[in-house]
Homo-oligomer: A and B are copies of this chain.
Amino acid sequence: MLSKLLIRGATILTMEGPDAIIETGEILMEDGWITHVGLPGSAPGYFDMDEVIEADGEVAMPGFVNCHTHAAMTLLRGYADDMSLMPWLSEKIWPFEDRLTGEDVYWGTMLACLEMIKSGTTCFGDMYFFMDHVARAVEKSGIRAVLARGMVGVAPTGAAALTESEELVKNWNGKADGRITAMLGPHAPYTCPPDYLGKVMDLAAKLKVGVHIHVAETRTEYDDMLKQYGKTPVQHLDSLGLFKLPVLAAHCVHLDQEDMEILAQKAMGIAYNPQSNMKLASGIAPMAKLLDLGATVGIGTDGTSSNNNLDMLEELRAGSYLQKVGTMNPEVLPAYRTLQMATIDGALCMGLGDRVGLIKEGMRGDIILVDIKQPHMCPQHNLVANLAYAANCGDVRTVIIDGKLVMLDGAVLTMDEEKVMAEAQERAMRLAGK
């Protein structure tokens, strides 16, 4: 039997285009698929519904797609801040991560999924380790995810990471009712030498999965790559043939004109992480230019040790404002364009653009309901500007992922919120040696 879920009374922001807004409408989901989007009373089979959500005064829009994070790093939130990159990594982050167990990663990821669901994120792109535990947390929480085992070619774990990546793909790609997709995650060009990247590329081609990689995040990386290979990070990767595969390139802060053209023409997608780039003082990524060149750009929060939350509304706003001041042009990344980046374009960046990111017949039902009857979104001159520039994550009231109710009016249905926070707190304190 079909499971049928109907949303009634919402204003529908389909994200199919600036004018594709239904003032009051309804959305029918059957077995996870959106099968009807229309005016009030137009959905067939009202009396057969398993669940009807009355959404008067709320906006229905596609859930946010966070296309670059390291979910389990919630355990490091607030553990080290306001430091220069190398002491931050070598004295604080890496020693902490060395002590992580699989169960720690499970609970850290559970906490991240809880926070993401509560703030309206329905899909995330992750790169970390103990990925079997990450996948279990994704399965349990009900969220959608694109998972990659981070692989550091220069580390002793380099060979094992290749094996684990293959296991992740075999065990989890397409699992959790199709909510999990796998990619390969070579960490970065400066941590994965050409021969190692060659192995990664062979494996990706064999397993038919894409590649998620950090690229040109810092000026140091850019300069070091130039010195070592005589090429920029992007041109180095291009010369190795990486972009023949579907590539999600995270950060892309330091680029020359040719780099931008390569990324615009050849990358599946670029993950823009504005708050991480600001907080770590990495730089202002040239996203307005990349968009002009036709690149597909999504938005990511990065991990919570460099952010420090997973709030996509805050992130997309910071992303728009940072481009405006960075280019000294207030017209770039306008409100609607930025919302697209945080939804459908993020999905496209991870190869999921045929499935999520729009409210449209034939897509999976990843939908959030946002309460717009709030002082900070009053008056309602412009719904899109209010969402992009004034809303906050607390306005997200209801979350549906893959056609299933995951949060109803602020209450998460798939996880025990108290238990998740207690486990994360206890493990974080142990790991910090407290």
Q: How far is the CA of A376 from the CA of B329 in the complex (A)?
A: 33
Nearest-neighbour CB distance to chain B for A384, whole angstroms, equals 8
- Cross-interface CB contact of A318 among B119, B318, B376, B394, cutoff 8 Å: B318
List residues of A (298-318) whose CB comes within 8 Å of B's CBs: 304, 307-311, 314, 317-318
User: Is A11 interfacial (CB 8 A cutoff)?
Assistant: no
Q: Which partner residue on chain B sits nearest A422 by CB separation?
A: B378
Q: How far is the CA of A318 from the CA of B118 in the complex (A)?
A: 22
Stretch among A74-82, A192-200, A239-247 lining the B interface = A74-82
Chain B residues with CB under 8 A of A321: 275, 278-279, 318
Contact bitstring A393-426, B, C-beta under 8 A = 1, else 0 = 1100000000000000000000001001100110
Interface range on chain A (Cβ under 8 Å from partner)? 35 or more
Q: How far is the CA of A119 from the CA of B392 in the complex (A)?
A: 11
Q: How far is the CA of A68 from the CA of B77 in the complex (A)?
A: 31
Contact bitstring A35-76, B, C-beta under 8 A = 1, else 0 = 000000000000000000000000000000000000000111
Nearest-neighbour CB distance to chain B for A383, whole angstroms, equals 8
Contact bitstring A307-339, B, C-beta under 8 A = 1, else 0 = 111110010011011101101111100110000
User: Is A12 interfacial (CB 8 A cutoff)?
Assistant: no
List residues of A (77-113) whose CB comes within 8 Å of B's CBs: 77-79, 81-85, 88, 111
Are A328 and B378 also in contact (CB < 8 A) when A81-B334, A304-B390, A421-B373 are? Answer: no
With most chain B CB atoms within 10 A of its CB, the pick from A119, A308, A382 is A308
Q: How far is the CA of A280 from the CA of B327 in the complex (A)?
A: 11
Interface pair B424/A379, CB less than 8 Å apart: yes
Interface pair A78/B393, CB less than 8 Å apart: no
Interface pair A330/B378, CB less than 8 Å apart: no
Q: How far is the CA of A330 from the CA of B281 in the complex (A)?
A: 5
Interface pair B393/A81, CB less than 8 Å apart: no
User: Is A272 interfacial (CB 8 A cutoff)?
Assistant: no
Q: How far is the CA of A82 from the CA of B321 in the complex (A)?
A: 10
Chain B residues with CB under 8 A of A282: 325
Interface pair B379/A75, CB less than 8 Å apart: yes
List residues of A (330-377) whose CB comes within 8 Å of B's CBs: 330-331, 334-335, 373, 375-377
Q: How far is the CA of A380 from the CA of B425 in the complex (A)?
A: 7
Nearest-neighbour CB distance to chain B for A111, whole angstroms, equals 6
Copies of this subunit: 2
User: Is A381 interfacial (CB 8 A cutoff)?
Assistant: yes
Chain B residues with CB under 8 A of A329: 84, 281
User: Is A226 interfacial (CB 8 A cutoff)?
Assistant: no
Interface pair B78/A309, CB less than 8 Å apart: no
Nearest-neighbour CB distance to chain B for A40, whole angstroms, equals 22
User: Is A122 interfacial (CB 8 A cutoff)?
Assistant: no
User: Is A173 interfacial (CB 8 A cutoff)?
Assistant: no
Chain B residues with CB under 8 A of A373: 421
Interface pair A82/B375, CB less than 8 Å apart: no
User: Is A385 interfacial (CB 8 A cutoff)?
Assistant: yes
Chain B residues with CB under 8 A of A75: 379
Chain B residues with CB under 8 A of A320: 279
Interface pair B311/A392, CB less than 8 Å apart: yes
User: Is A428 interfacial (CB 8 A cutoff)?
Assistant: yes
Interface pair B330/A84, CB less than 8 Å apart: yes
Chain B residues with CB under 8 A of A74: 378-379
User: Is A284 interfacial (CB 8 A cutoff)?
Assistant: yes
Interface pair B325/A385, CB less than 8 Å apart: no
User: Is A389 interfacial (CB 8 A cutoff)?
Assistant: yes
In addition to A78-B390, A83-B331, A84-B330, 12 A-B residue pairs with Cβ atoms within 8 Å of each other are A76-B381, A77-B378, A82-B334, A219-B328, A279-B321, A281-B329, A281-B330, A308-B389, A310-B376, A376-B393, A379-B427, A381-B432
Q: Can you offer 6 A-B residue contacts whose CB atoms are under 8 A?
A: A81-B382, A83-B331, A84-B331, A111-B375, A119-B376, A392-B393
Cβ-closest 9 pairs across A and B: A394-B394, A379-B428, A278-B321, A82-B334, A78-B385, A78-B382, A308-B389, A278-B325, A78-B381
